[in-house]
Amino acid sequence: MTTMTPQSGTALAPAAYGTMQWGGTADASAARDMFAQCLDAGLNHFDTAHLYTEGRSEEMLGALAGTRDDIFVATKAAYDKPATAANLQASVDLSRKRLQRDVIDLLYLHRFDPTTPLEDTFAALAALQQAGTIRYIGVSNYAAWQVMKAQAIAAGLGTRIDALQPMMNLVKRQVEVELLPMAADQDIQVCGYSPLGGGLLTGKYAVTGADGRLAFDHRYAARYGQAWMHDAAVGLAEIAAGLGVPAATLAVAWMRRHAPQAHPILSARSAEQLAPSLAGMDYALDDATYAAITALSPTPPPATDRIEEA
C-alpha cells in the first residue's frame, strides 16, 4: 500500500478519527477530550472536510493539531462548486487557514464531479502538490472506474492517487466487489468511513426513540433503511451481548479482520461513545465469531456476477 506518513516521518496509525461531528453534535470540550483520547490510543490520523459543520470541524481540528508535524491531517475539498482549478485553490486556501497549517497532508476530492473534466481537476491537484500545498492526493465516494480513469490522468501528470475513502461496514460491503481489489492492485491506501453504519451497528436503533443520525438525518435513514440491515444490527448486538462486549467493538474488529488493508475511520460525539470503537482496534475475533458476524450480511456477488466461480 501507499506509505503515507505525517511530516515527522513517523508511521501512520492503522485507523483514523473522523471529525465530522465536531462543531455539530460534538462541542469543543468533547472534541478536545476525543483528540487526547485518540493520541493516547496511538491514532495520529485525523480526517475532516471543508464542508463539515460549515467549517467548524476544520477550525476545531486546527485549534488542537495546529502545526504539529506528528499529526496527519486529511481534509476534503468543497463539493458545492465544480472541481475547477480556481475552486480547488480557494477551497484549499480556506482549509489551510482553518486548519492553521501551511501544508495539508492529504487532500481528497469529496465526490466525483461529472461537470469538470478530470484532466482539469487533476492538473490542479498536481499543481497544488508541486507547490508544496498538499502532500498526498485522495478521492472519496468514487466508483472503481472513476478511480482508474483519474489514476491514468494523474500518472500522465507525474503524480498518483494515494488514498481512497469509501463507505465500508458490515451492512455496506459493495467496496469488496471492485474497490478493494483495485486499490490493492494500484497500491492505494483505503480509509473506510462509517464502520458503525451511522450508529446502526451499535444496536441503539433497536430501541424506539434512539437518538442519532438515522433518527434525524434523512440521508442516513435512507442509506440504512432496509429491514435486513436492522436485522443484522440486532444479530450483531446479540453476539456482542453473549461475549460481554459492546456491539461497536465487534463492528470495528470485524472490519479490521475482514479487510485488514483498510484503515477504519472512527467517529463519535463523546469520549465515552468513542471508547468501544477504539477497543475494536485491538479486539481479536476468533474464527467462529468472525464467521457468525459475516453471515449477518449478504456477500456481494463478484463484479462479473459469475457467482458459481466465486
The closest of 161, 143, 142, 141 to 151, measured between CA atoms, is 161
Per-residue pLDDT, 212: 76
Return the C-alpha cell found at 152.
Answer: 491514468
pTM over 0.85: yes
For residue range 222-249, what is the model confidence (pLDDT) as tens digits?
999 999 999 999 999 999 999 999 999 9
Which of the four pLDDT bands, split at 50, 70 and 90, describes residue 119? very high
User: 84: exposed, middle or buried (C-beta count within 10 Å: 0-12, 13-18, 19+)?
Assistant: middle
Q: DSSP per residue over 43-67, as a string?
A: --EEE--TTGGGGHHHHHHHHHHTT
In the chain, the percentage of residues whose pLDDT exceeds 70 is 98
The yes-or-no verdict on residue 1 having pLDDT over 60 is no
Per-residue pLDDT, 305: 87
Taking all residues of the chain, what is their mean pLDDT, rounded to a whole number? 96
Return the C-alpha cell found at 296.
Answer: 449477518
Mean local confidence (pLDDT), 85-103: 98
Per-residue pLDDT, 158: 98
Per-residue pLDDT, 309: 78
Per-residue pLDDT, 217: 80
Distance in angstroms (rounded) separating the CA atoms of residues 175 and 167 = 7
HSE value, Cβ hemisphere, 13 Å, CA-based, for 19 = 38
The yes-or-no verdict on residue 2 having pLDDT over 90 is no
Which of the four pLDDT bands, split at 50, 70 and 90, describes residue 77? very high
For residue range 263-290, what is the model confidence (pLDDT) as tens digits?
999 999 999 999 999 999 999 999 999 9
Mean local confidence (pLDDT), 160-181: 98
Residues carrying an active site annotation: 52
Element holding 201 (H helix, E strand): none
The yes-or-no verdict on residue 301 having pLDDT over 90 is yes
CATH for the stretch 1-165: 3.20.20.100
- Which amino acid, one-letter code, is at 18? G
The closest of 120, 47, 117, 111 to 80, measured between CA atoms, is 111
Which of the four pLDDT bands, split at 50, 70 and 90, describes residue 218? confident
Domain boundaries, the chain: 1-165
